[in-house]
């Protein structure tokens, strides 16, 4: 299966709770990020071996965390303030960053496109619990030709209280994949 593209990066605020031994994970206030050019999740795995009798008798390769990078074509201050817990004033279009701001935990997902047997397959990738950090402020003069620059958001991937951290699902149409993410993240 050849990967041929991606689109529709979305996030939503995560709430985890355990009541009577029953774990629930819910999402609210979901948002579409806008056109994005890349979405890269990189899990970090343990690599521990227990040796006995001159051989490995036990191993641990479980997920211990990870990083998520999203390259956004056009960053808006409203989206950045929401992702990072900063203050945004809608009337003045001003974002104020404070060192005491705490980025929220978010579920974050995207849709990847692949070709399989001459058909396009749409696969949602959802990281259940992520948290982003402030992006670089990269500005550049035009020079002789226009250069398109993007904003890269880097974040961390965490496991939830029930130890789950990611899901993927295949769909036959882009609309079905979008509907699934919209429903999961409460996007109308």
pTM for this model (two decimals) = 0.90
What contacts 158, CB < 8 A, 6 or more positions away?
Answer: 65, 105, 129, 130, 131, 165
The structural domain count of the chain equals 1
pLDDT band at residue 135 under the 50/70/90 scheme: confident
Report the mean per-residue pLDDT for the chain.
92
- Residue at 141 is within a domain: no
- Residue at 128 is within a domain: yes
Taking residues 104-117, report their average pLDDT.
96
* pLDDT (tens digit per residue) in 8-29: 999 999 999 999 889 999 999 9
The pLDDT, as a whole number, for residue 40 is: 94
Q: Which residues span the domain enclosing 121?
A: 2-136+150-185
Residue 186 to residues 14, 63, 129, 130, 144: CA-CA distances in angstroms?
Answer: 11, 27, 16, 17, 45
- Residue at 142 is within a domain: no
Give the helix/strand (H/E) hosting 66: strand 63-72
What would the two tokens of residue 11 be? 């996030």
pLDDT band at residue 175 under the 50/70/90 scheme: very high
DSSP structure class, residue 98: -
What contacts 182, CB < 8 A, 6 or more positions away?
Answer: 10, 30, 188
Residue 143: count of CB within 10 angstroms of its CB = 7
> Minimum mean pLDDT among 30-39, 48-57, 78-87: which range?
48-57
């Amino acid at each position: 299966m050849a990967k041929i593209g991606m689109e529709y990066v979305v996030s939503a605020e995560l709430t985890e709770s355990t009541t009577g031994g029953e774990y629930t994970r819910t999402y609210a206030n979901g948002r579409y990020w806008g056109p994005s050019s890349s979405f890269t999740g990189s899990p970090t795995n343990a690599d521990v071996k227990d040796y006995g009798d001159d051989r490995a008798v036990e191993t641990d390769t479980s997920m211990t965390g990870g990083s998520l990078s999203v390259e956004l074509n056009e960053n808006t201050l409203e989206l950045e303030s929401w992702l990072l817990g900063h203050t945004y004033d809608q009337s003045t279009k001003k974002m104020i960053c404070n060192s005491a701001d705490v980025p929220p935990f978010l579920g974050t997902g995207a849709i990847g496109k692949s070709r399989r047997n001459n058909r396009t397959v749409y696969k949602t990738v959802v990281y259940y619990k992520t948290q982003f950090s402030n992006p670089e402020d990269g500005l550049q003069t035009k020079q002789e030709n226009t250069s398109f620059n993007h904003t890269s958001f880097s974040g961390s991937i965490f496991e939830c209280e029930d130890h789950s951290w990611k899901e993927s699902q295949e769909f036959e149409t882009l609309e079905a994949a979008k509907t699934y993410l919209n429903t999961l993240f409460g996007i109308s």
